[in-house]
Structure 1
C-alpha cells in the first residue's frame, strides 16, 4: 500500500466540501484544514461557519481561519503541521510562493474548468454564460499566477441544456472529489507528469457583478437563456415590470421566426411567460418579482395576471 501523505486542505464554500470528503473517505491523512473566517448571515447577522469548517469539525480536524495569509505567523503555523502536500479547492484567497512551496510536494488545486480555459474566480458560471457544451475539472500544480500552473489531471463534464451555475457546480464539485483521489493515487505511483498550459488559449473568468443582470431582449433566446442560467443563483438575470425588477428562471428556448418586437410578452399561462427576443422565443417557467418569493409562472399569474402584448424594456 502506498504511503500516506500528510495533507493540509484549504477550502471554504460548499463547492470544496466533496474534495475534503473524498480525502477523508479515502483514508488520507488530513492534518489540518484552512478556510476563511466565519461570516455574518441572515437577518440577525449571526456569525456562521463556512461549509468546509463544519465538515472539518465533524471529522475532528484542526481548523485554521487566518484573516491574513501573507504573514510569517501563518507560514509558521502551517509549517508546524509538517505537510507533504497541500490541496486547495475554492479557498478564496490568493496564496504566495512561500505558502505554496512549503510542502515538499508543493500545492495542488481542484480548479473548476478545463484549463487554460476560464482562469479566474468564476469558471463554472462563465461556462454556462457562454453557452459551452462542456466544461470540467483540472487538477493543477499551483504557482503564483492566476491558475497558470501545470496541468496534472483533467476531467470533462457535459453541460445540460437546463443546467444553471448552481446545478452545474454541484456536479463539478463531485467530479472534483473523484478526480482528486485519482490524481493522488497517480502521484503516489510516480505517474502524474505535469503539462505546461498553452497560454495562447487562456480565457478569463472574472467575478460576476450585478451589471450582468439586466436582460437585453434584442439578443437571441439562446443567449438570454445562457444569461439566466449562468447568473442563477447569483446575481440573477432580470427585467423590469412597473418599476420593479422581475427575475426569471427555468428558461426554455422556442426556435422559429419572431413577429413581435423583442421584449413583447406573447403568452402568459400555466406553461410560463413566453417572450419574443431578437431570435426565437423564450418561455420562462419561474419568476420572482421584487419583494416577493421565487415561484412558478403559474402561481405568479394567479396573483398578478399579465396581459399579452405588454413589452418589457430592453
Structure 2
C-alpha cells in the first residue's frame, strides 16, 4: 500500500535522465515551456488514459506516437486488450499510430499480430503485448527517422469500441453461453473479475471453466457433481466454478466451498 516509482522512472533515474510526473498537462504552462525548450522530435504515449492537448499534438515534427493494444481500427478506447479477450478473439496485437484529437482515430504506422491462447487472461496478454509493443515502438521510430515509414489512414467504417470497464461488467449473466462467460472472466482480469450472488450475498468467482455439459436447466441453477460445482448457462451449456469467495470471506476451492456452505443442487445464483 505504499506509492512506488514505475519501472520506466526507476530505469531513467539510474541513467541520469530527468523525470517529470505532472498531475495535468492541458493547462500546464511550465511543462509546455519546458517541452518547447527541449524541442522533441517525437513524443511517445503509452497507456495514458487522458486526452492529449492540441499544443502537444502539434509540438513535435513526428507528432505524438501512441502504442495501442489492438489491431486498429478494431477496439478503439480504454480497454482494448480486455474486450478483445472478452469477445472471444483468437488474435489481437499492437499498433503504433500518430495521435490526433479523436479517440484512437489517428493514422497508423506499424502493427504486429499476436495470438491469444484459449486459457490466457488479460494479464497474460498484457505482458506479451508490452514486450512486442516495445520492439514495435523502436522499429517505428527507426522507420520515421530514415523516412521508410509512411502513415496509413484508418478505415473508420470498420471501427469497434472498447469502452472503459465498469464493476457491472464483471457481473455474471448466466443467460449467456458458458464459453462467453468464460471469455469475459478471462478478459476482465484482474478487475472487475467475475461475480454473482448466492443467498443474497456477493459471490466472487476467481477461477472457472466451460463445461461440455448438455443438460438443459434454468440459467444460474447450481449443479453439484461430487466436489465440483457447476451452474447452468444458455443453450444447455454449463460453467464450472472452481474457486470462489463469499463476500467478506477467504478464497476457497469448490470442494471447500461446498463443504463450508452446504450448497445443494437446485439453488440459484444471481437472484
TM-score by length of 1: 0.79
1:296-311 → structure 2 map (5 Å cutoff)? 296-311=253-268
Shift of 1:225: 1.0
SS class of match (1:125)? helix
Asked whether 1:277 is paired with 2:233, we answer: yes
- When the two structures are aligned, how many residues end up with a matched partner? 269
Tell me the SS of whatever aligns to 1:93: coil
Alignment of 1:239 onto 2:196: yes
Q: In structure 1, how many angstroms separate the alpha carbons of the residues matched to 2:256 and 2:128?
A: 29
CA contact (8 A) 1:112 1:136 kept: yes
Task: Choose from 117, 139, 143 the match for 1:186.
Answer: 143
Name the structure 1 match of 2:166: 209
Report the equivalent of 1:65.
21
Question: Do the aligned residues in 2 keep the contact of 1:268 with 1:307 (CA within 8 Å)?
Answer: no
Take 2:35 and 2:226, find their aligned partners in 1: how far apart are those partners? 59
**Comparing 214-223 with 293-302, which one deviates more in the overlay?**
293-302
* Structure 1 Cα separation of the partners of residues 97 and 82 of structure 2: 20
- Distance in 2 separating the partners of 1:76 and 1:66: 13
Q: Aligned partners of 1:247 and 1:269: how far apart in 2?
A: 21
Structure 1: distance between partners of 2:166 and 2:14: 34
Select between 182-191 and 98-107 the one with higher mean Cα deviation: 182-191
Deviation at 1:249, TM superposition (A): 3.0
CA contact (8 A) 2:75 2:83 kept: yes
Tell me what 2:51 maps to: 94
Cα distance in 2 between the residues matched to 1:66 and 1:251 = 41
Question: Secondary structure of the residue that 1:102 maps to in structure 2?
Answer: coil
Partner of 1:196: 153
Cα pair 2:198 2:268 within 8 Å, conserved: no
* Cα 1:61/1:92, change in 2 over 3 Å: farther
Runs of 4 or more, structure 1, over 6 Å off, are none
Between stretches 272-281 and 144-153, larger displacement belongs to 272-281
Does structure 2 retain, via aligned residues, the 8 Å contact 1:263–1:276?
Answer: yes
One of 42, 59, 76 as aligned partner of 1:119: 76
CA RMSD after TM alignment? 2.0
Q: Which runs of 5+ in 1 are unaligned?
A: 1-41
| Unmatched runs of 5 consecutive residues or more in structure 2 | none
